[in-house]
Amino acid sequence: MDPAQRPRKKPERRDRQIEDTRHDPYRSTRKLPDFTLCRDCGLVYRDGRWQRLSEPWALDTALCPACARTQDRYPAGYLRLSGSFFSEHREEIQQLLANTERRESEEHPLQRVMDRVEEDDGALLITTTGTHLASALATALHRAYGGTMNLRYADQENLVRAAWSR
pLDDT in tens, 68-81: 999 999 999 999 99
Q: Which residues contact 56 (CB under 8 A, 6 or more apart)?
A: 37, 42, 43, 44
Beta carbons of 166 and 147 less than 8 angstroms apart? yes
Q: Distance between CA atoms of 116 and 128, rounded to whole angstroms?
A: 9
Of 119, 120, 101, the residue nearest 110 (C-alpha): 101
Question: Is pLDDT above 80 for 162?
Answer: yes
Three-state DSSP class for 149? strand
pLDDT of residue 79: 97
pLDDT of residue 18: 53
pLDDT in tens, 82-127: 999 999 999 999 999 999 999 999 999 999 999 999 999 999 999 9
Q: Distance between CA atoms of 35 and 47, rounded to whole angstroms?
A: 9
Question: Is pLDDT above 60 for 159?
Answer: yes
Question: Is pLDDT above 90 for 57?
Answer: no
pTM above 0.75, yes or no: yes
Q: Which residues contact 121 (CB under 8 A, 6 or more apart)?
A: 82
